[in-house]
Chains A and B, each alone.
Chain A
């Protein structure tokens, strides 16, 4: 990478750390450190919420998914606006108004200590793991593309994030999120503008080429619970996923607990409802643009440069033969793509499309052979979806913009990781240390423990990142970690709104919900989005039924 690009990345990293430390001045109490003394404006919280959700997986994995699979992934977010509205009138007033530091703390007031501790433990396990996964996503890609050892890539992202999160607490995280969100949007728009300018065909023709491969099919109305991305799984399963994530996951709950009032907390969530689908559309369209661009500019046969080098070294002649076939197939596909672009309605457009799809199939089959070869040589997962857009950025973007995009990927990674470290530390200290170990601890002591907990979770995430590196599609992994627990935890919070529900019913319901989700996860092909709904419904049913037996409330605990 050109030194100017590196300079942009280094300036960004230095700025984030220095700015984070500057924001640490009002964090000498745990209220300041964990919820910013409830002082933040709705737009700060709203951008922080969005930045927390938009990780580096979105910047490199989802753009790559747009290039290979098109825009249909956007369906997963169709339930988000509805979820935000429901949260605005239910969980947000309930949690913000109750003066808690964590969502799980509320569960002890409503139910009992064991329900609180169990849900908090589930959060620590799942978020601790997923924090490592979202750190691994950019670290693995940076490691392969820049030839850095993985541990250096992990440190490049992890160390600055831990420093500003540890010192500045939630205020540093929220204000860094604001700047990082702006940087992310600017970086995505810059790539989009460059794509439009450099595209060899008009936007209309580019859309026609993308559409002919099904990449503009945003809606799939088929009702198949084994299919992950359909309209119905997005609207129904997606609503439950978003309700769980934004309403019960401490990494998001802690964002809106920092808002100045309940009303500002509600409006901060509505910001996501407003912008999430358009933003996700932009992310996927960038990927689709890269796909169309690569119809006219030959991309590498293997996007992962480390795998490419390993294959060249180990199976040089077989790879050369593939390269040669790939070059011929690419030329044929390019002319077929131009024919699609040039065909008007009255000429043989259908024929041009059929020829293009056939040649696209040939190119993809050669790529599949190359990926298989890479798998045999490296003994690693062969999917290179996460490398498509970074390779495009480094080879096709002008100097400066490539650095801006890499800084954007770092911003996306750091904003998510920082929020998760901050919330992991909060749950560790409030739900475990202060609750069970040292209930009478002074603020100054708790602050020291909180900073230590942040450093611990940062180290844990870095270690998990090393193991997650061998996993395939990172975005699926992140969502799967969440889905396993999410629906059931949401069920407990929904149960909290049912007057007859009791503590032991909530706890047993939670166990039943997780067992059911575990069954569906391992024994059936039901898509993971539906598992959120299943988990929530089972907890609710079991909790209500047990509650109606007239058990005494456990909320005295």
Chain B
């Protein structure tokens, strides 16, 4: 079996960058859902 293992120096920045993007997208989606609820729910 291949066992490349985690390489913090090589992998962390990429993981962190993707993580920040994920958080931003989730916040945008939740805000959008919140707006829909506030604007249209009677």
Contacts and interface: CB of A to CB of B under 8 A. Distances in A.
A266 B11 contact: yes
A93 B37 contact: no
A212 B42 contact: yes
Contacts of A207: 36, 39-40
Chain B residues touching A, majority SS = helix
A263 B18 CA distance: 11
Contacts of B34: 218-219
A278 B4 CA distance: 33
A97 interface: yes
B15 A266 contact: yes
A97 B14 contact: no
Contacts of B2: 37-38, 99
Contacts of B41: 211-212, 214, 216-217
Given A93-B6, A216-B36, A262 B42 contact: no
A97 B2 CA distance: 8
A267 B5 contact: no
Q: Counting chain A CB atoms within 10 Å of each CB, which of B19, B25, B39, B41 scores highest?
A: B41
A451 B15 CA distance: 36
A216 B37 contact: yes
Contacts of B26: 81, 273, 277
Contacts of B30: 78, 277
Interface string A59-97: 000000000000100100010010011001000010001
A266 B22 CA distance: 13
A277 to B, nearest CB: 5
B38 to A, nearest CB: 9
Contacts of B7: 262-263
Contacts of A99: 1-3
Nearest to A84: B22
Given A261-B4, A277-B29, A270 B40 contact: no
A97 B5 contact: yes
A262 B11 contact: yes
Contacts of A353: 42
A448 to B, nearest CB: 21
Interface in B12-35: 14-15, 18-19, 21-23, 25-26, 29-30, 33-34
Given A219-B33, A277-B29, A263 B22 contact: no
Nearest to A35: B1
B23 A81 contact: yes
Interface in A267-298: 267, 270, 273-274, 277-278, 281
Contacts of B3: 97-99
B14 A217 contact: no
Interface string A120-153: 0000000000000000000000000000000000
A88 B7 CA distance: 13
Nearest to A89: B15
A85 B14 contact: no
A97 B37 CA distance: 44
A267 B18 contact: yes
B14 A211 contact: no
Nearest to B24: A274
A92 to B, nearest CB: 9
B36 A274 contact: no
Contacts of B25: 274, 278
A79 B33 CA distance: 16
A263 B10 contact: yes
A78 B3 CA distance: 33
A210 interface: yes
B1 A281 contact: no
B18 to A, nearest CB: 5
Given A208-B40, A219-B34, A267-B15, A273 B1 contact: no
Interface of A: 31, 35, 37-38, 71, 74, 78, 81, 84-85, 88, 93, 97-99, 207-208, 210-212, 214, 216-219, 260-263, 266-267, 270, 273-274, 277-278, 281, 353
28 contacts: A35-B1, A38-B1, A71-B36, A78-B30, A81-B26, A84-B22, A85-B19, A88-B15, A97-B4, A97-B6, A207-B36, A211-B36, A211-B41, A212-B42, A214-B42, A219-B33, A260-B4, A262-B5, A262-B6, A263-B6, A267-B15, A270-B15, A270-B19, A273-B26, A274-B21, A274-B25, A278-B25, A281-B33
Given A93-B5, A274-B18, 8 more contacts: A31-B1, A38-B1, A74-B33, A85-B22, A216-B37, A262-B4, A262-B11, A277-B29
